[in-house]
Structure 1
Amino acid sequence: MELAVETRGLVKRFRSFRGLSSVLSPRGKLRLMRETVALDGIDLQIPRGSVYGLLGRNGAGKTTTIQLLMGLLEPTEGDISVLGLNPLTQDVEMKRRVGHVADGQKMYEFYTVEELCDFVSVFYPTWNRKLQDELIDRFELPRDQRIAEFSRGMKAQAALVLALSHEPELLLMDESTSGLDAVIRRQFLESIVEMSHDGGRTVVLSSHIIDDMERVCDWVGLIHKGKLIVQSRLEELKSAVKQLRVVLTQPMPPLPGEVSEHVLRQEQANGESLITVTDFAPDMADAFRSAGATQVEVDDLSLEEIFVAYTTGTGRVQ
């Protein structure tokens, strides 16, 4: 599998002042430092040509990851390869081959969209003016109106024109649909996927809106508290993680280890035990029946339900 992006043991720690301590020294009061771990040993593998969803709650580490891939931050530990290049030491070559759209991306809003494209295009030898015009027309962006007068959705579309007009091999989008209404957001994402498939480029989307990612992504990575807890093809993940609805007439005895070690989450609802398992196999249902269950049904889960199971589960059957 050829990779567009790979990270190994990626760690990012931020240091900030805790404030003045009460400890006196010959030089006066000391400042103590607080260290925050934003990413803790991330091993990303993003295949070329994929639409990869980087999912997680706000503050999980998604934006930090994108900024590291773009070379906007320096990792504390670990290695990063983007299109076979180091984002820090080969940044000019890499950025010419990458498009980047951030949430609320800053632009020179006194320009019209065409004027801004003219300004940005000089930095990209591969800028395609015909594609630029096609994208402006596709998004129905007014050519005689300053960007300052655009709606939030129009500004996001203008940012995408800038990110795609130099025909990048990789498109990194960090919460770029945040704040858009549902209809515009869906159209925006569908446009990205369509244009990416047509050009064979790789797309990385970071978002906390998991329903959107389920519609458009073929690979997903789930980040929780700075750790990459799952990375998989979406269809394989949904095949592996299932919910068992189990009805018991008596307390369940301990399950065999080969079943209990795959339990992500358990809850009670309407007299049933709802047990989410990973690496699902039909003999898991048989194990519950052997343990005394009078009824066992297997349900598919949405990506959001899978995410909740991984991030809130107890990991054991009680």
Structure 2
Amino acid sequence: MTRNMFVDIKNVSKNLTDFSLENLNISFEKGEIIGLVGENGAGKTTLLNLISGILKPDKGQILLSSNNIGYCFDALPEPENLTIEQLNTIFTGLLAVWDSDTYFSFVDEFKLPKGKPIGVFSKGMKMQLNVSITLSHNPTLLLLDEVTAGLDPIVRRTVLNTIKEYAISSECIVIMTTHNLEDISDICNRLILLNNGSILLDDNFEDKSSKEIELIFRKTLGYGDM
């Protein structure tokens, strides 16, 4: 089968000090928005780090159709004394693929102040800037690590809508870790449940409510009815 964009994880294992991922086999294809869920320590961030290349597997291989990866963390890594305009100058000279017009279109959409140091931004504003930066080199694989954590409902909705619109227009692959099952219900069309480094559940979850997802989540983990 011909695929324009894909991620293939084949027999991948990774042993860390107090945690391990064991023999993962899973594939992702264009147009999928995957919610990666599980308790703390389940392996969600480790899996993103393996896909991005930050970590190397101890065993197995990860095949990517493109190395144009956007990795958005739950905190803004840029120096907080810089402004939005200064960041654009830096990224223009630093990155081989950087679209200033796209960057400023997101900045304007989020109504972010261009001349103020980002250190004075609220958490929500910083996350909106983080998303703006991540999407401004037109990634074909988008990795999102707890990007809605701690956001107020309005900012959370704005961030999720922006990500969903980008995913639909670009047909990129989105893999998003989250503890908020409403995130899954709102934008994801596939859910993967990790537990102690193993995949317990992998299914299509489009058009399911957060309540339905939680019941399936609890049943899969053996928590019983609420």
- TM value normalised by structure 1: 0.65
What are the superposed Cα offsets for residues 28-59 of structure 1, whole Å, 9 maximum, x if unpaired? xxxxxxxx233122222111121111111222
Alpha-carbon distance in structure 2 between the residues aligned to 1:166 and 1:75? 26
Residue 38 of structure 1: aligned partner: 20
Residue 140 of structure 1: aligned partner: 111
Higher helix residue share: 2
- Counterpart check, 1:74 vs 2:45: no
Q: 1:121 to 1:311 in 2, by over 3 A?
A: farther
Residue 185 of structure 1: aligned partner: 156
| Higher CA-based Rg | 1
Out of 50, 53, 56, which is 2:38 matched to? 56
Alpha-carbon distance in structure 1 between the residues aligned to 2:93 and 2:214? 42
3-state DSSP of counterpart to 1:302: helix
3-state DSSP of counterpart to 2:82: coil
* CA shift for structure 1 position 235: 4.1
- TM value normalised by structure 2: 0.90
Alpha-carbon distance in structure 2 between the residues aligned to 1:37 and 1:165? 34
> Which blocks of at least 5 consecutive residues in structure 2 are unaligned?
none
- Counterpart check, 1:117 vs 2:88: yes
- Counterpart check, 1:217 vs 2:188: yes
The percent of aligned pairs where both chains have the same amino acid is: 31
Out of 169, 176, 194, which is 2:165 matched to? 194
Counterpart amino acid of residue 13 in structure 2: V
What are the superposed Cα offsets for residues 127-184 of structure 1, whole Å, 9 maximum, x if unpaired? 1111111111011110111010000011111111111111111111011111112221
Residue 220 of structure 2: aligned partner: 310
Alpha-carbon distance in structure 2 between the residues aligned to 1:309 and 1:123? 48
* CA shift for structure 1 position 121: 2.9
Alpha-carbon distance in structure 2 between the residues aligned to 1:134 and 1:59? 37
Higher strand residue share: 1
Q: 1:82 to 1:123 in 2, by over 3 A?
A: farther
Alpha-carbon distance in structure 2 between the residues aligned to 1:105 and 1:144? 17
State the aligned residue count.
220
5 Å-filtered alignment, 1:132-171, equals 132-171=103-142
Structural RMSD (CA): 1.9
* CA shift for structure 1 position 83: 2.2
3-state DSSP of counterpart to 2:7: strand
1:98 touches 1:169 (CA, 8 Å); kept in 2?
Answer: yes
> Which blocks of at least 5 consecutive residues in structure 1 are unaligned?
16-35, 85-93, 239-300
After TM superposition, the runs of 4+ consecutive aligned structure 1 residues lying more than 4 A away are: none
* CA shift for structure 1 position 312: 2.0
Higher relative contact order (Cα pairs below 8 Å, separated by 6+ residues) = 2
Alpha-carbon distance in structure 2 between the residues aligned to 1:40 and 1:105? 31
2:70 touches 2:143 (CA, 8 Å); kept in 1?
Answer: yes
3-state DSSP of counterpart to 2:116: coil
* CA shift for structure 1 position 65: 0.6
3-state DSSP of counterpart to 1:127: coil
